[in-house]
Amino acid sequence: MVDLQGLGACCDGCASTPAAVRIARRRLLKAAVFGPAAVPAGAGPGDDHGLGFAMPGELPRAVMGKVIDVSPQVLVISQGSTELRLALTADVSAWRGGPADPEGLHIDDVAVIRLDPARRGVADRIWCNIGRVTGTIIECQDNTLLVDPGTGRERQVVVVPSRAASRIQVRYPNLRPGYLMDVIGLRWPGHLEAIVPATPQPVYPVTRLPEPPLVSGHVPGTISGSATWREPAGEPYGLLGVGYPALDPDAGCAAEPPGQAAAGFVRMPYLSVGSLLRIRNQCSGAQCVLPVTSCAPIARLFNDRCLTCATSPRGRIAELTLASFVALGGELERGCFNATITVGER
């Protein structure tokens, strides 16, 4: 069982994790060779030595833990060996497979909680037992599917209950091996109960991907598209970072997509783990500099749009950790937000 940890403010450090340690060491070596980045004119408290890292209080904080007690006014969660008490107001909203009354949350539910940025220790939004499976369908039997999420992760079992079958099949008509799936639902031991489709299903199987559009000229410094989130898998819940769809081939990213898919549908420069990206949520206006902590080859296979606040350009440009997505104002049950990334932040 992974020890549940609190999630700090976006970019507020998770230096105890192996990935974060490696990334921090990269930054120190880079600074030693090239010198520290100059602090830009007019830099404020949100600029960490010119890097633009958000400081505590500038973005909503998120915490995660197991529910051990709940009342009309207070929610108590367990984070490993510690407990955290959060106030519940009349404005707090919750999700547990759908809109839920915060008082009706169950003991031992795993809760992701976004805190009110203006009031200390007050919950603003709660998601319980939320999970997501994105990948290629490998097997299908009745209402149960086996999905390969790629990137070296374990295959996932997805169960589509009768109450959600019509909603899923309207947007995912091809629940057959070889087609892509991206669904959000309730996480149970051993499987995900699919509740809502995260995006429309691409019409092509992964063996017949359409050719990406030809683009001439230099890769732009700012790229627009869709930012999604992923469940923690072998990484701490509080890891702040981003999976990047165009990791340098020399990095040996596991489960590379086949053939022509390697180019992806968005023109993006190759980067390495530890590179910095400024990610902006176009819907909320929140932005933050995040390190690349992993690859996201499955994201290259999707040529979809995000419709959270407008229509984004086609293609997925970032797969955020759960902590980063929530801190940047994303709503987990919606699955994505319209985003821009700026490459080469220092």
According to the model, what pLDDT value does residue 88 have? 95
Q: Give the per-residue pLDDT at 208.
A: 83
What does residue 294 show for φ and ψ, rounded to 5 degrees? Answer: -165, 175
Each residue's pLDDT tens digit, 157-190: 999 999 999 999 999 999 999 999 999 999 999 9
285-49-246 Cα angle (round to 5): 60
State the Cα–Cα distance between residues 274 and 241, nearest whole angstrom: 9
Flag whether pLDDT at 87 surpasses 90: yes
Lowest mean pLDDT among 77-81, 113-117, 258-262, 333-337: 258-262
Q: pTM score, two decimals?
A: 0.80
pLDDT of residue 251: 64
- In whole angstroms, what is the distance from residue 231 CA to residue 4 CA? 13
Query: Which pLDDT score is estimated for 20?
Result: 45
DSSP string of 181-250, one letter each residue: EEEEEEEETTEEEEEEESSPPPSS-GGGPPPPPP--SPPPSEEEEEEEEE--SSS-TT---EEETTB-GG
Q: How far is CA 242 from CA 34, 249, 253, 299, in A?
A: 24, 17, 14, 12
Q: Is the pLDDT of residue 9 over 60?
A: no
How many C-alpha atoms does 102 have within 13 Å on its Cβ side? 25
- CA atoms of 345 and 229, how far apart (whole Å): 21
Average pLDDT, the chain: 79
Query: What percent of the chain has pLDDT above 70?
Result: 74
Average pLDDT over residues 257-286: 77
Q: What is the mean pLDDT of residues 235-243?
A: 80
Main-chain dihedrals φ then ψ at residue 80, nearest 5 degrees: 70, -115
Give backbone dihedrals phi and psi of 289, rounded to 5 degrees, phi first.
-90, 125
Question: What band does 64 get if pLDDT is binned at 50, 70 and 90?
Answer: confident
- Token pair for 226: 């869709």
The 3-state DSSP class for residue 85 equals strand
**Residue found by looking up tokens 């510690």 in the block:** 82
Residues in the chain: 346
93 close to 331: Cβ distance less than 8 angstroms: no
Q: Which is nearest to 206 in space by CA: 319, 302, 140, 315?
A: 302
Region 324-333 average pLDDT: 92
Mind listing the pLDDT tens digit for each residue in 131-153? 999 999 999 999 999 999 987 78
Predicted local confidence at residue 266, as pLDDT: 78
Q: Note the pLDDT of residue 258.
A: 46
pLDDT of residue 60: 62
Q: Is 275 helix (H, G, I), strand (E, B) or coil?
A: coil
